[in-house]
Amino acid sequence: MGRIRRASAHDVSGVYRVCLLTGAAGGDATDDHANPDLLGHAYAGAYLAGEPEFALVAVDEHGVGGYAVGAPDTRAFETWMEQHWWPVLREQYPLTPEMESADTPDARLIRRFHRPPAAADELLARFPAHLHINLLERSRGGGMGRALIEALTGALRRHGCAGVHLGVAPENENAIGFYRRLGFETLASRPDELVLGMRFE
């Protein structure tokens, strides 16, 4: 089944690969993106750089099979990203008029680099941490998802967090079933995103 350890610089390419191969509501997003790095920049890389204590990888003899990453204080992480993560990407991928109007997955991600959404205060009051988890097909269905979530929520709990939230595409029924089985409850339901959460006390 592989083993879980903290992510390091060795894992950046593997984590980005997993992010792309699971980026279409759990399925392969490779064909949706001309630039294969953008999804990883948006949803994975910043955790390895900015929250290394809460960046876990599942590794086996084939490489990185999956990851769970998170931030104990979502607002503080947003501030860190403003200072350290987005500036490089904003310079590399400027918001040109073409980029403002293009209706492609890559353009939507680049607009997100420039205007990242901020989590709501009411959500963070009870669920200040957030996380992402993604496993390649070869690493699913054998308990690795549960093991990663338990390792990450354990670390968040020990850090003193009161609760964690996450966003999932409403069509990703597999992940929603998994989260519910692990005890996550629904906090908000929007057409484009279901927000789930778990309290630690």
Ligand X SMILES: CC(C)(COP(=O)(O)OP(=O)(O)OC[C@H]1O[C@@H](n2cnc3c(N)ncnc32)[C@H](O)[C@@H]1OP(=O)(O)O)[C@@H](O)C(=O)NCCC(=O)NCCS
| 4 token code pair | 């879980």
Question: Where does this chain touch ligand X (CB under 6 A) — which range of 31-39, 81-89, 121-129, 137-145?
Answer: 137-145
Question: Where does this chain touch ligand X (CB under 6 A) — which range of 39-47, 112-120, 128-136, 153-161?
Answer: 128-136
142 counts as binding ligand X under rule CB under 6 A:
yes
* Single residue of 15, 20, 22, 89 touching ligand X by CB under 6 A: 22
> 44-76 burial by CB neighbour count: b if 16+ within 10 A, else e?
bbbbbebbeebbbbbbeeeebbbbbbbbbbbee
181 counts as binding ligand X under rule CB under 6 A:
yes
145 counts as binding ligand X under rule CB under 6 A:
yes
153 counts as binding ligand X under rule CB under 6 A:
no
Dihedral angle computed from the Cα positions of residues 28, 34, 36 and 39, in that order, rounded to the nearest 10 degrees: -70
Query: Would you tell me which residues interact with ligand X (CB under 6 A)?
Result: 22, 26, 66, 133-135, 140-146, 168, 172, 174-175, 177-178, 181
